[in-house]
Amino acid sequence: MIKDVIYTISSNLQLNSSVFEMRLDGDTAPLNKSGQFIDIALSGKYLRRPISVCDYDENGLTIIYKVVGEGTKQMSNMQKGEKLSALCALGNGFDDSVTAKKIALVGGGVGLPPLYGLAKRLKSQGKNITVLAGFNTAADMYYINEFSSLAPTRVATADGSAGTKGFVTALMDEGEFDYFYACGPEPMLNALLKTGLDGQLSYEARMACGFGVCMGCSCKTKLGAKRICKDGPVMTAKEMR
Ligand SMILES: Cc1cc2nc3c(=O)[nH]c(=O)nc-3n(C[C@H](O)[C@H](O)[C@H](O)COP(=O)(O)OP(=O)(O)OC[C@H]3O[C@@H](n4cnc5c(N)ncnc54)[C@H](O)[C@@H]3O)c2cc1C
Ligand code: FES
């Protein structure tokens, strides 16, 4: 069920030069999976801004967003106590019922946030997880302590300024994992598909309605055209490979 919820901002913290963590107090009853997203209405903006839910509890939810344009800039200037209207909850989210021996959670840049709530869920189920986090450079890193408190966490940076030099896929030894959950830039998702490993991938697309009626976000899969906002954003490796 999708609801239009008025949230109250309880914090809006800057995590690095362009990434912010916003805590929103309000109704989270429509959320039932990690990897779902909210669609935020901003004043003066016709289209809503889709942002993944990083984590949630019965009192509210956390989002992490990068300032890339006017909408996210406006969000970064919002203060504690201000109201924010968002559609909650959109998208299918990750299926966390999969049984696998060793699971990689692979996130690149601002693809990491939905993997945080997922890591908590998988850990509470006693699953063996390892977080693989990729950034362009050390200054872009955030939430590494938070992930490390949940699971072994490895970092890769494209310029080698922290962790392993190279792409996040360089952190996976051959045969080490038997399943993955991933969210990040499309080249990273494509590289994961090429490994042949079974898993789930969260995709991004420009969206209009955000809940499945305009077909503006459709993508090709082996099972035919799917809407990233409603049938996704999480797709299986089998349907995308
Ligand atoms: C399912 C989903 C989950 C997302 N989760 C996150 C997240 O957790 N953290 C985060 O930082 N970003 C996330 N994004 C990307 C985020 O939606 C865009 O960065 C944001 O909408 C940019 O808005 P803007 O006004 O600042 O930028 P502008 O470029 O000014 O936006 C212009 C228009 O393009 C759209 N747009 C721009 N970039 C994107 C994009 N990458 N994907 C989809 N629409 C875009 C905007 O929504 C807006 O309608 C997610 C996108 C999707 C589809
Ligand atoms: S944005 Fe309208 S169907 Fe996905």
Per-residue pLDDT tens over the stretch 186-224: 999 999 999 999 999 999 999 999 999 999 999 999 999
pLDDT 10s digits, 81-137? 999 999 999 999 999 999 999 999 999 999 999 999 999 999 999 999 999 999 999
User: For residues 190 and 160, what is the distance between their CA atoms, to the nearest angstrom?
Assistant: 22
Q: What domains appear along the chain, each with residue ranges and CATH number?
A: 3-90 (2.40.30.10), 103-202 (3.40.50.80)
User: For residues 6 and 26, what is the distance between their CA atoms, to the nearest angstrom?
Assistant: 7
The model scores a pTM over 0.95: yes
**80 φψ region: left (φ > 0), alpha (ψ -120 to 50), beta (else):** beta
Q: Which residue minimizes the CA distance to atom 36 of ligand 1?
A: 206
Ligand 1 close to Cβ of residue 116 (< 6 A)? no
Residues 6+ apart with CB under 8 A from 73: 67
Residue 59 — φ and ψ, nearest 5°? -100, -20
Ligand 1 close to Cβ of residue 231 (< 6 A)? no
Q: Give 49 Cα–ligand 1 centroid separation in angstroms.
A: 6
For residue 131, the one-letter residue type is V
